[in-house]
Structure 1
């Protein structure tokens, strides 16, 4: 159990150099605004660039005059010629072809080369459209004419973005464990800004979708690696509050994006603005933020860890305290770190995802965490996609969708330091499960359904934030990035599953909520099989993980 001692020593050193000194305050002042701008970049692609606006066929003045004359002669309603309903309630003359088979004639085309199926009016399919009725001045649908025959392309960008999230989750966790937290985070940040800024100038939808894949991968990289880095740079005392602050940045980005969208209403300009705003924070991160000392020590880079700790002590004006501490304990940072490195069977060059599946304790942790991440993502996005219950303006929907998450994060932050991670995660899942299951019996009352809906969103938001922190505290340091990345990657299938579940509304409007509720209840029960990490979390070795699991006070079924 030598590793247990060295871990406590690191916390002691952190206390000496300053648990929340000048360096930590600068860290927060840079990292959290950067996280907000990065989330805005992602949400801009996920929300403001979507939408299927109403539209009608665009034609030159000569063609419009010809249509008017022919429709007048045949007794056809002129308004139908220019603004007929298209599939999914949008407007296009192309649908007029299929319904009335009367559309735009070519002024320079003979009758023999066109169809004549509506009172003798020749017609061809539309090639360009006019858009109206949208709160946005410009969306991806408008820019690339993703309507009528091209309507099937509409979801390709969203699928590319979600695919990027899955790809990035699996890649950046491994990269951060192998090459470090800071270089991995900076790589993802730079790629995110460049891909988003570049995508706003593209005129090809295929290239735009390709960059959406890159943007999604980069965003999940900054989210995953950034969260791990924050957790490794703060003490146990401050870990809960900073974990919840990390989650709140996503909610704040939704609120700010609603304001940006309302004021600008052009997806290209919003994308460029959020990208440019992020640049100063990325530069500040490069200059002022150091590599994680915990990661350096855990991977045997003793000299690098010593240098970073001394720099932090200098920023916090605690150099003398650090020196006194080392002399009083008759030890050096070198000895402490070497103890860590010698006690760790898998170092930087050997730690891999295989280690997670060959050790029984880590395998159990991973299976339970994977299901919890899947359910949290599925329910979270499922309720977000069902936000039509709120009604009203689209910007207000974005605003309230973000706002309702904050109480869940705050409640988790208040309860976790005293109750612990496991009971809070369980409680939040149960709150979400009960609320959503009860919605199946409240379909006749709009306001009751709305209250239960918001309670379910609050519960899953709190569960999501607690399971995020819980995961980082269960995996050992050399495997932390891989473990969190794996959970985050698998969880992305939950977003796709949520779409499929919502489609079951055609059977019963309340059936999706019942399914979400059952999934959340099972997740709550499985959490009971995990050990509490409030005091002894953040292990540095697999041996510490096993010892942590043996201390579990709740012994349910034997497989736990």
Structure 2
């Protein structure tokens, strides 16, 4: 529950610039662009339905890039945090640096809608930023009450602490106190041993090829997802309604992708390919719509459909990537892919500004990215009902995989 609520807060932070940096309707007296900001301040007239950093510092025309830059710097901060706190979590534990699973992405979508509601109620951008950021103090204090990951404690040889956490979880679930005693793992690394390093992702041909493809897929998912999310403020219609819908449209994406990835006729690879391709097509089709298209064929509706599809793909890629890497390299593989994901977020805020070339250009850029990532997914193997490799040798040995498949069929 705490982690889910924290996701709502994170969603507000990710979406902050959409409303704080929104551009209200305005007009400039006389023709031409003013030579100085002081002259611009005298000649420009903004609509007074809300304030933003744009109205505060006149971030229009040549200064408009600063709004996109502010959003890009946010994702650059996430990249730095990913590099810094990812390895730190393996040393200090999961609780101090906070990690969450793909299930909490559902509450992230709800958080976007909550932020839209906040923006509708609080129209002055400083107060909106204050209201959106203040809960962070509460969650920081609350995080100290969370128990440590029992799996991490177990991997570190802290059996007694892991047992205490498991007892705490059992009692929280309404179970009676268990007579629990963990045995030391025979496969755990000794203190004088080290896990395979990140360079193994490059040294071995199979893993190198998978890593390159997955890095691009993660990048494209992030690029299209955050691009369409941040572009919600650029769509026609009510600003706050568009932002809320861009979050709520993700809610059905999670059960939808969970349904398809467990079916033998679709699996992980085909499902993710279809979602990415459909997201790309939804974006590209916006350029062929007539100007007087009705509600059912409006660019806003297609953008929301694309957002739902890429959101589903984003959920699947976490599971799919975990199954494509052997156990000894899973953390390293997910870390590298997660870093490439942040580069997509860094570039995404600048794409909506390309509408100055043509209103359909941002959607074409997102569409091409989604299509290319979808087709590249077909080059990866299916992992549904397949044994997960434990070591690097397992990935490279076809004979091992055949034996494991036969064993899985016999036990199944």
Task: Please classify the TM superposition score into its range, dividing by the shorter chain length.
Answer: 0.7 to 0.9
Separation (CA, whole Å) in 2 of partners of 1:547 and 1:135: 64
Q: State yes or no: 1:274 paired with 2:132.
A: yes
Separation (CA, whole Å) in 2 of partners of 1:129 and 1:507: 25
Higher relative contact order (CA 8 A, sep 6+): 2
1:12-31 alignment, distance < 5 Å: 29-31=1-3
Q: State yes or no: 1:158 paired with 2:71.
A: yes
SS in 2 for 1:413: helix
Give the C-alpha shift of residue 509 in structure 1.
Answer: 5.0
Separation (CA, whole Å) in 1 of partners of 2:255 and 2:6: 21
Match of 1:426 among 258, 261, 273: 273
Contact 2:72 2:345 in 1 (8 A): no
Q: 1:494 to 1:280 in 2, by over 3 A?
A: closer
Tell me the matched-pair count.
398
Contact 1:429 1:524 in 2 (8 A): yes
Match of 1:172 among 85, 90, 94: 85
2:154 alignment partner in structure 1: 297
Q: State yes or no: 1:226 paired with 2:139.
A: no
Q: State yes or no: 1:521 paired with 2:368.
A: no
Separation (CA, whole Å) in 1 of partners of 2:314 and 2:138: 30
Q: 1:503 to 1:404 in 2, by over 3 A?
A: same
Which deviates more from structure 2 when the two are superposed, residues 258-267 or residues 504-513?
A: 504-513
- Give CA-to-partner distance per residue, 1:229-272, whole Å, 9 cap, x none: xxxxxxxxxxxxxx3x3222221111111111111122332333
- Give CA-to-partner distance per residue, 1:144-166, whole Å, 9 cap, x none: 55568966644442232232132
Q: 1:266 to 1:473 in 2, by over 3 A?
A: farther
1:133 alignment partner in structure 2: 47
1:416 alignment partner in structure 2: 261
- Provide TM-score, normalisation by structure 1: 0.60
Task: Could you tell me which runs of 5 or more consecutive residues in structure 2 were left unpaired when the two chains were aligned.
Answer: 406-412
Task: Could you tell me which runs of 5 or more consecutive residues in structure 1 were left unpaired when the two chains were aligned.
Answer: 1-28, 57-79, 88-94, 104-123, 186-224, 228-242, 324-331, 554-560
Separation (CA, whole Å) in 1 of partners of 2:141 and 2:388: 30
Q: State yes or no: 1:37 paired with 2:21.
A: no
Match of 1:455 among 298, 301, 305: 305
Contact 1:258 1:396 in 2 (8 A): yes
Separation (CA, whole Å) in 1 of partners of 2:160 and 2:388: 22
Give the C-alpha shift of residue 130 in structure 1.
Answer: 8.4
Separation (CA, whole Å) in 2 of partners of 1:429 and 1:493: 18
Separation (CA, whole Å) in 1 of partners of 2:70 and 2:351: 21
1:118 alignment partner in structure 2: none
Separation (CA, whole Å) in 2 of partners of 1:42 and 1:513: 20
- Give CA-to-partner distance per residue, 1:303-352, whole Å, 9 cap, x none: 543443344344446566654xxxxxxxx6223x23333699644xxx54
Give the C-alpha shift of residue 405 in structure 1.
Answer: 2.3
1:290-439 alignment, distance < 5 Å: 290-316=147-173, 323=180, 333-335=182-184, 337-341=185-189, 346-347=194-195, 352-387=197-232, 390-418=235-263, 419-439=266-286
Contact 1:174 1:481 in 2 (8 A): no
Q: 1:381 to 1:305 in 2, by over 3 A?
A: same
SS in 1 for 2:147: coil
- Give CA-to-partner distance per residue, 1:367-410, whole Å, 9 cap, x none: 12111111112222333354467521211111121122223233
1:50-65 alignment, distance < 5 Å: 50-53=21-24
1:181 alignment partner in structure 2: 94
SS in 2 for 1:182: coil
Q: 1:277 to 1:507 in 2, by over 3 A?
A: closer
Separation (CA, whole Å) in 2 of partners of 1:266 and 1:531: 51
Q: 1:160 to 1:86 in 2, by over 3 A?
A: farther
- Give CA-to-partner distance per residue, 1:421-470, whole Å, 9 cap, x none: 32321221122233344444434562425344333222212111211232
1:188-267 alignment, distance < 5 Å: 225-227=99-101, 243=102, 245-267=103-125
Separation (CA, whole Å) in 2 of partners of 1:370 and 1:379: 14
Give the number of the structure whose alpha-carbon radius of gyration is greater: 1
Contact 1:501 1:512 in 2 (8 A): yes
Q: State yes or no: 1:49 paired with 2:5.
A: no
Give the C-alpha shift of residue 133 in structure 1.
Answer: 0.7
Separation (CA, whole Å) in 1 of partners of 2:304 and 2:66: 33
Separation (CA, whole Å) in 1 of partners of 2:269 and 2:191: 28
Contact 1:299 1:341 in 2 (8 A): no
Separation (CA, whole Å) in 1 of partners of 2:166 and 2:248: 38
Separation (CA, whole Å) in 2 of partners of 1:412 and 1:53: 37
Separation (CA, whole Å) in 1 of partners of 2:158 and 2:148: 11
1:91-130 alignment, distance < 5 Å: 95=34, 125=39
Contact 1:39 1:250 in 2 (8 A): yes
RMSD value, Cα: 4.0
Q: 1:84 to 1:485 in 2, by over 3 A?
A: farther
